[in-house]
Amino acid sequence: MKKFLIYLSAFVILSLYFVLTIFILPSEFLMTEQLVPEPSFTAILSETNITLGDSFHLDIVSMNNGDYADIHIVSVAFPDLNIIDDVVKITTYDFTLSPSYISVDDEIGSKYSGGVETTLAQYPSIEAMSRPLKPDVQTHFDLLITPQELGLFNIYVKSIGIPHTSDISHYPYSGFLDHQNEYVSVYSVSVNP
C-alpha cells in the first residue's frame, strides 16, 4: 500500500512537471513583453558644397531611446562608390565592436530580418556595432570623406536595434529604401570643380 502511494504520488508529480514545463510556463513566458529597442541618430555634415580634392566630415551621434538592445547598429553606405578605399576614413568610433566593412556583392541581411532574408550588396558600406547597448547611452561614429569624383556625393545612414521587435526598432521609420529594403536618411554633398 505504501509503495502504491509513493508510485501514485510520483506519477502525479511527474504529470504536473510535464504540464508545467511544456504547456503552462512556456505560454506564461511567451506572454511577457519583449524588449523594444528604439535607435535614433543625428548626423551632421560639415559642408554641403566642396571643391574636388577637399574633404568633409560626417559626424553621427546615435542613441538607444528604448529598451536594452542586444545589438545596436549604425550603417553608413556610399551608393556612389564601388570601393571605399581611401575615400572614407573613420575619425571617431566608440562602439563596442570593430567596424565591419561591407563590399559590393557581399551577402547581407534585408528587410530587418537579421539575416533570415538576404540580398547582395550593390554598394559598399560600413557598419558600426555595439553589443549590447543600454538605454540612453550615446555612441559616436565620425567620418572624414574625400570624394574623388565631381557631382553629387550621397551617403545613406540608418540605425537598427536588435531584437527588431517593432517598427520603432529602426531609424528612420520611413522615407528612402536602400538595397537592403530598409529605410535610410540621405545626406548629399555637392563636389564642384
Partner 1 sequence: MTISTSKPSETFLKSKSEIIFLIGSILTSLGILLVTVGGSWDITNHLLSKPETFSSPPHALMYSGVAVTLFGVVLSFIGWKNLQKFKTSYFLSLKIKLIGIGLLTGAGPFDFIWHSYFGLDGLLSPPHFTLITGMFLCSIGGMVGISRYLKFHNSKSVSKHLLILAVIPVWLSASGIISSLSLPFSSTDFFQFNPEPTFAFIVASLAYPFLISFSLFMVFRLSNYQFGLVSILGGLFLLIYSSTAIVPNFAMIDTVQFYSLNLIPFVIADVFLKLSRSKLSLFFSGGLIGSVFYMVYYPYVMYTYNEILLGKLVSPSLIYFVYFELIETVLLYTLIPSIVMGVLAVIISAKIAKKILIT
Contact 99, 125 (CB under 8 A): no
Give Cα 123 distance to the centre of its chain: 17
* Closest approach of partner 1 to the CB of residue 104, in Å: 18
Contact 121, 179 (CB under 8 A): yes
- Please report, as residue ranges, which positions from 9 to 48 form the binding site for partner 1 (by CB under 8 A): 10, 13-14, 17, 20-23, 25-27, 29-30, 32, 34-35
The helix/strand/coil state of 185 is: strand
| Of the candidate residues 42, 65, 91, 96, the single one contacting partner 1 (CB under 8 A) | 96
Binding to partner 1 by residue 91, rule CB under 8 A?
no
Contact 39, 172 (CB under 8 A): no
All three cell numbers of 19, joined, read 504540464
With cell 572614407, the residue in question is: 88
Binding to partner 1 by residue 97, rule CB under 8 A?
yes
* Closest approach of partner 1 to the CB of residue 32, in Å: 8
Which one, 112 or 171, has the nearer CB to partner 1?
112
Q: Which stretch binds partner 1 (CB under 8 A): 3-11, 58-66, 119-127, 173-181?
A: 3-11
